[in-house]
Amino acid sequence: MNSSPQSTGSAQRWLALVGWLVLCFAAASMGALFMPGEWYASLNKPSWNPPACVFGPVWSALYTIMAMAAWLVWQRGGFAAQRRPLALFLTQLALNALWTPLFFGLHQPGIAFAEIILLWLAIACTAAAFWRVSRVAAGLLVPYLAWVSFAMVLNGTLWKLNM
């Protein structure tokens, strides 16, 4: 991803979008490394726990719109001009990637719950920083924040039900 989008042509800008997509789906790859498995299947779950088939499509859509949001901000001067909003984006993406091994890998719903609270705060800060650059980019993060809000409540409930 070039650090100065103004000096690039259309092809390079689209290539940058591909770069943001690759970065976001690299975080998503943690889901393939740490599958829910038997441990998760054995947990007591609330009646409103979504079926497993919901998570893949929802997360795929969310990672796509996250990449688009970062790309829109990046286009407004690259990393040089958008250092803070893009650093916040990368921070929340790292926190996003960390949750899966904490919950599914280490089987630590309590630690994962604390971490998802940090993730939620990082997403909210990222959306606020994006708002100052591109309201469309900030708006694209709203479904992500909503889903992580739901996931946070689910994580906390699973922790409580299985203590």
Domain count, the chain: 1
Predicted local confidence at residue 85, as pLDDT: 98
How many residues are listed for the chain in this entry?
163
- pLDDT for 120-163, tens place per residue? 999 999 999 999 999 999 999 999 999 999 999 999 999 999 99
97-124 pLDDT per residue, tens: 999 999 999 999 999 999 999 999 999 9
* Residues whose CB falls within 8 Å of the CB of residue 49, separated by 6 or more in sequence, listed in order: 154, 158
pTM of the model: 0.91
For residue 9, what pLDDT is reported? 76
Residue 4's pLDDT is: 52
Per-residue model confidence as pLDDT tens digits over 36-89 = 999 999 999 999 999 999 999 999 999 999 999 999 999 999 889 999 999 999
Residues of the domain holding 145: 5-161
Q: How far, in Å, CA of 93 to CA of 144, rounded? A: 11
For 78, residues 6+ apart whose C-beta sits below 8 A from its C-beta are 1, 2, 3, 4, 5, 6
Digit-coded pLDDT (tens) for 1-48: 545 555 557 888 899 999 999 999 999 998 888 989 999 999 999 999
CATH of the domain at 101: 1.20.1260.100
The arithmetic mean of pLDDT across residues 89-102, rounded, is 97
**Residue 156 · residue 107 · CB < 8 Å:** no
Q: Check residue 5 and give its pLDDT.
A: 56
